[in-house]
Homo-oligomer: A and B are copies of this chain.
Amino acid sequence: MPHGPDAKQKLREICRIAARVFYAKSYDGASMQDIAEAVGLTKAGLYHHVGSKDRLLFEIMNYGMDILDETVLAPIAGIADPREKLCRTIIGHIDLIVRARDQEITVILHENRSLSGPMRKKINARKRGYIDYLEELIHRIQEQSGKPELIKPRIAAFALLGMINWLYQWYTPEGPVKQEELGQAWAEFFFRGVLGTS
């Protein structure tokens, strides 16, 4: 597989288009020929860029985690207050799930039954890293409150992830709930659930 900044951009472009094809036809239902046609490459050209079909799925998932890191977490890395940081994380993560541009990628990120071996392990490790990050923030918010722990931070972190990752099943920006209202309402709901106060 090619390397360098141009190769990375090309790979990301392939990932975005391939994610749409997998989303429409399912991973098993889409052939490498389908994807090559959508990308505008020959099948041989596609294999040159991505190595194999499962490698392509791995690259899409990796790209999904990159987007989370680059667009949600990196911009708020310098925030010290855990509550402010978690609030910004919640709103940023919701934005990532509901904005149309990358939706297929974030959905496919969780269809990881099709991945196996070291590639599956690597993706799961990146996901666990995010869970650890949420857990740590929740723990610090609880400490900061000075009150007894009302819920284990890890169980609360998984509740939050479920709320947000499930959005693709029901939320449409054209519907009655505006994204800003949703982000604010859920952040406040979550903090009440963790701390027991508004």
Q: Which A residues are closer than 8 A to B by beta carbons?
A: 25-29, 110, 114, 150-152, 154-156, 158-159, 161-167, 169-171, 177, 182, 185-186, 188-190, 192-198
Contact = CB atoms under 8 A, between A and B. Distances in A.
A155 B196 contact: no
Contact of A162 (B25, B165, B193): B165
Contacts of A194: 189, 192
Copies of this chain, whole number: 2
A193 B150 CA distance: 12
Contact of A196 (B150, B169, B185, B198): B198
Given A25-B28, A28-B26, A182 B167 contact: no
A165 to B, nearest CB: 6
A171 to B, nearest CB: 8
Which of A167, A170, A189, A195 lies at the interface centre, i.e. has the most chain B CB atoms within 10 A of its CB? A189
A187 B29 CA distance: 39
A28 B166 CA distance: 22
Contact of A193 (B25, B26, B166, B190): B190
A158 B185 contact: no
Contact of A163 (B110, B152, B162, B197): B162
Closest 9 CB pairs of A and B: A162-B166, A28-B29, A193-B193, A189-B193, A162-B163, A26-B28, A159-B163, A162-B162, A196-B198
A29 B27 CA distance: 8
